[in-house]
Amino acid sequence: MKIPIRSSQDLGGLIASARRKRGLSQRDVAKELGVTQAWISRVERGNQKCWIGKVFRLAAFLAVDLVGEVSPGKKSEAHTKGNYPDLDTLLGES
Domain extents for the chain? 8-90
37: number of Cβ within 10 Å: 14
Q: How far is CA 83 from the centre of its chain?
A: 19
Mean pLDDT of 78-82: 49
For 25-66, write each residue's pLDDT tens digit: 999 999 999 999 999 999 999 987 878 888 888 999 999 888
Q: What is the pTM of this model?
A: 0.65
How many other CB atoms are there within 10 angstroms of residue 4's CB atom?
9
More confident residue, 82 or 8: 8
Model confidence band, residue 89 (pLDDT cutoffs 50, 70, 90): low
CATH of domain 8-90: 1.10.260.40
Residues whose CB falls within 8 Å of the CB of residue 7, separated by 6 or more in sequence, listed in order: 46
